[in-house]
Structure 1
Amino acid sequence: MMMRNLASLLFAGGLGFLLCVLVGGLDFGNLPMVAGGLIQSEAPAQVGTANIVTAVVLGYRGIDTLGELSILFASAAAAGLVLGRRRTAADKEPEGGFILRAGGDLLFPLLLVVGFYIIFHGHLTPGGGFQGGVILAAAFFLPLLARPGSSLNHAGLSFIEGLAGAGFILIGLWALWQGGEFLQPMLERGVLGELLSAGTLPLLYLAVGLKVGAELAGLLAHLAEADE
């Protein structure tokens, strides 16, 4: 017992000494933001996007974004395998009230417009494919809340998801074929701040938005169709 306490004390003392050395070597108030400063100064000219976050997500670390999409796909596929089942006639539930159904019908096109607006303007303003995709998923899930007996077309969602994922990868391979880096922005950068600018970044965000929207809509539909 004494030896164990002594070992724990030595470990805690050594860890504290290491932390003190690290903290003592930091120059507080003058952080060397080398990478961030370079990106902020060079991204508008190199990538042509007014939203620096978009330049980082799709340009400088696009391969990481592809990894995030792969993780989301694996999670949605696993949840679908666990929760997926065929709905029978006995599973039909009564529809919601008139106000809920009318509200769902009214909000569906509005959510579609907002979702695609955020996706198409992701290279100009905060937002993009991930945020817009979530709104698209909510647009297709909302009718299920108003009409519990209905269901989404999972085959169609799978087709959209696969097409969007393949498009994202093909754009990256196109950059390699042209002698650039994977997912390097292609096409003309255009005028900074205009809608038709930043090369292929809006196309990448469109692929991300459709893929995220299809995956989340399918996952939410599986959750709604699962047994309580």
Structure 2
Amino acid sequence: MNIFRLAGDMTHLFSVLVLLLKIHTIKSCAGISLKTQELYAIVFATRYLDIFTNYISLYNTIMKLIFLGSSFSIVWYMRRHKIVRRSYDKDQDTFRHYFLMLPCLILALIINEKFTFREVMWTFSLYLEAVAILPQLVLLQRTRNIDNLTGQYVFLLGAYRAFYILNWIYRYFTEEHFVHWITWISGLVQTLLYADFFYYYFQSWKNNVKLELPA
């Protein structure tokens, strides 16, 4: 494992910890899109179908369990926890996220590396992850004023994917025959979706002001 892959994994992990900190400590999910969290739960559920049948390493298994457990826990808190769910802004979080799933599934059935159930589901998870952040970004655009923890959560998610792109570039030049076009293109699309948010995040950090997106 190279430093870029490790940085990506740790940044992804920190993003989850920041969100769980917000939910458990403040008992609030204000500014968080349930639609995005449900999509991430589906992403991990379809990506890690091999968790108990294909052992790679203890590290790999632990990370899979963390992301599976945390994603479904967050969805449960936002839907079922009496205090947390009161802070969920259902009226603003109206992105029809299920409409993202069908195109991703059709694309996975057409464009994949191997036409098997597990491979198609893995490819579907890549396509879905690329666009899963859209409901969250739309919600932030509508609410405009973003608290620190929510801003850090979204920033860390974007940074995780940026580190993975660096990881792929590094592996392309250091490992023979390392080419994964589906993963690369999906990751690039996902990272580009964060571009506008990154710009305003760095502007707020540079000027030491509260993060606020334009209408």
TM-score by length of 1: 0.32
* Structure number with bigger Rg: 1
| Greater RCO, CA 8 A, separation 6+ | 2
TM-score by length of 2: 0.33
